[in-house]
Amino acid sequence: MYDTVRFSCDIGRLDAAHLSKRGWTTQRTTRPDGAVIDKAILNAESLPRLTWYDSGYVTAECSLPKLLRGENVSLVNECDLPLAFKRVSEYVGAAIGVVVDVADWNLARCDYCYCWQVGQHLPLYLEALSHLHLSRHDRQTVGAGTVAFHSAANKLQFYDKHAESGLDAARGILRFEATIRDTRYLAKQLKVGRTASALLTDKNAVRTLRYFLVRLGLNEERPIVSKAGALERTVEEFGVRGAEKLWLFAQLYEQYGAKAKELFYSRNTFYRRRKALAEAGLLAWHNGAEDVLLPALVIHKLLE
């Protein structure tokens, strides 16, 4: 449920020379206003990447699956976190010479993730997802293996885990990651603290990932059909007259996203039609064989 996280805490000023003796690389930069900023970095391979700022803040960033297992194909769940917190705390403490518990540190970045084994249908899923839009996010496709949605606050991506990792265990796996950069807002929405122990729970991961699936317009109860199947289902769901409106809307939405609201529709009409198609599972479709049904992307309740 979790991948890369960045722990952050104000531990006060440290002696840069002392850090240098412990293997840190110190940097000094001068801002345009003449202010001098000191920073120190300790970036050992496969261990948390540490950064100290002269403001007193230390950050520790690492992939929790790689920390615990040496790879990030297997999911890390809440039951695995005590060991992860212990290892990061011991490493950070040894690096700065101060006893710490990163479970009580704030998170400056939080990656929630989930995997589906979809086998040979992986390319069709990625193609279907490439038709979707997310408000206030820029959509980007990278080759045939990744569909991403970017904003200043977060980044969502669906991708071929085998192509990314090269590991046989990842063949046929569709990976979904939600990288949250604005963890203050996340903590407020979840009504929890901003610490690692408060944010990194399976319940919070499931809730956040489902929230973004819904915002994208995916329906956990509806399979993803072919384009021909989507037209047929639109007629079945809404009748011929309703389908005439909604099918055109679907094509315009796929092409323009939220801009269709400004170009062609009133705000109310736009959101009413988008909601109708999302509830019917018709915002995404694939261009494969007409009889291929892609099971809905469900984050199983067993993990709650």
Confidence check: pLDDT of 303 > 70 = no
Q: At residue 265, what are phi and psi to the nearest 5 degrees?
A: -135, 155
Q: Who has greater pLDDT, 247 or 98?
A: 247
Quote the CA–CA distance of 118 and 171 in Å, as a whole number.
9
Quote the CA–CA distance of 144 and 188 in Å, as a whole number.
36
Q: Chain-wide mean pLDDT for the chain?
A: 91
* N residues, the chain: 304
Confidence check: pLDDT of 304 > 50 = no
Once rounded to an integer, what is the mean pLDDT over residues 11-15?
84
pLDDT-derived band at 12 (thresholds 50, 70, 90) equals: confident
In tens, the pLDDT along 70-83 reads: 888 988 999 999 99
In tens, the pLDDT along 238-284 reads: 999 999 999 999 999 989 988 999 899 999 999 999 999 999 999 99
Beta strands in the chain, from DSSP E residues, in sequence order: 2-10, 25-30, 36-42, 49-53, 57-63, 106-117, 138-142, 146-150, 154-160, 173-180
So what's the pLDDT on residue 301? 61
- Identify the CA nearest to 233 among candidates 247, 220, 218: 247
